Copies of this chain bind each other. A is one copy, B any other.
Amino acid sequence: MYYTITLNPAIDMLTKVENFELGKLNRTGESNYVVGGKGINISLLLKNIGKESKALGFVAGFTGDFIKEELTKQGIKSNFIETEGFTRINIKLTTDTETEINSQSSKVNRTNILDFFSSLDELTSEDTVFLSGNIIPGMEDDDFVHIAKKVKEQGANLVVDSNKDMVLHTLKYHPFIVKPNEFELGEMFDVHLQSLEDIAIYAKKLQEMGAQNVLVSRGSKGAILFTHSGEIFSANIAKGKVVSTIAAGDSMLAMFVAKYDETKDFPLSLQYASAAGGATSFSAGVGKQELINELLVQINVEKISL
């Protein structure tokens, strides 16, 4: 079974306003509300390709209820810890430009955190856990690292996708894969990556520090995969009209892991991952199986040496 962890989920409120003015009363059109958060995006992509997952994390109040209900509607299991206050609403305001107003969720307390740790007790060696996104107010960085530790103690497979510090601190628990983009990889080591050779140097450093496989996304330049056996594969991206790149990286990661579990075939998994990233970029919401399959023919995966 796949488990996804979203410690600080959100509802995205998508709305349009003409001629926005600070300090004034602005009127919007009708708003759309969609569930957000990296782990939840992964659950949605997995659902779209026919894989079951269970979403874990924290929710609070009427906004948290919406998240649970939406996941249930979409056929995704969840076991969130309920806390005081309200899960945040992030506002995506379309005027001439795109303005984002990201809110802070209410805090979790130590009891909530311990309850969350207990929710990991059901993990077994049959499971894969996506530990994604950032911590929620009230949690410490150490708690994030403890989650990675506990996942490994339960014998489950670990995938980490978070900010640079969290990724670096969890490498000792040997995540199956980490997925920085080119810029984030440079940031992890405080360097500016100039070439493919540079990328290779630091991707391999992540492997030395514990990552089994490293997938580096490079925007329009595609992605490069460094496997545990020392192979390197590159892939291009699909062409199409971008609707929103939100969740494209999450889709890539989810598809990669799911396809690898099925086939143990790295280049094939990279091809599907790249198609899934494109499918989500070209869709309102997370990409569907059909579009992923359509885009596959556009993706060329090559074995390279650096």
Q: Contact residues of A with B, CB < 8 Å?
A: 13, 15, 17, 20-31, 33, 61-63, 65-66, 69, 85-86, 88-89, 91, 93, 95-107, 137
**Cα A62 to Cα B63 with chains together (Å):** 7
Q: Is the CB of A28 within 8 A of B62?
A: no
Q: Which of B26, B33, B103, B106 contacts A101 (CB 8 A)?
A: B26
Residues A28 and B101 in contact in the complex (CB < 8 Å), given A20-B22, A62-B65, A62-B69:
yes
CA distance A98 to B22 in the complex (A): 8
Residues of chain B within 8 A (CB-CB) of A104 are 27-31
Partner of A22, one of B25, B28, B89, B97: B97
Residues of B within 8 A of A98 (CB): 23
**Quick one: given A23-B97, A62-B63, are A28 and B86 in contact (CB under 8 Å)?**
no
User: Pick the contact of A24 from B21, B29, B99, B105 — CB < 8 Å?
Assistant: B99
Number of copies: 2
Contacts of A99 in B (CB 8 A): 21-24, 26
21 A-B pairs within 8 Å (CB atoms) are namely A13-B89, A15-B101, A15-B103, A21-B99, A22-B22, A25-B102, A27-B102, A28-B101, A29-B104, A30-B85, A30-B104, A30-B105, A30-B106, A31-B86, A33-B86, A62-B62, A62-B66, A62-B69, A91-B91, A91-B101, A93-B101
Q: Nearest CB to that of A28 among chain B residues?
A: B103
**Chain B nearest Cβ from A109, distance in angstroms:** 14
Q: How far is the CA of A86 from the CA of B34 in the complex (A)?
A: 12
Which of A20, A23, A105 has the most chain B CB atoms closer than 10 A to its own CB? A23
A113 to chain B, nearest CB (A): 18
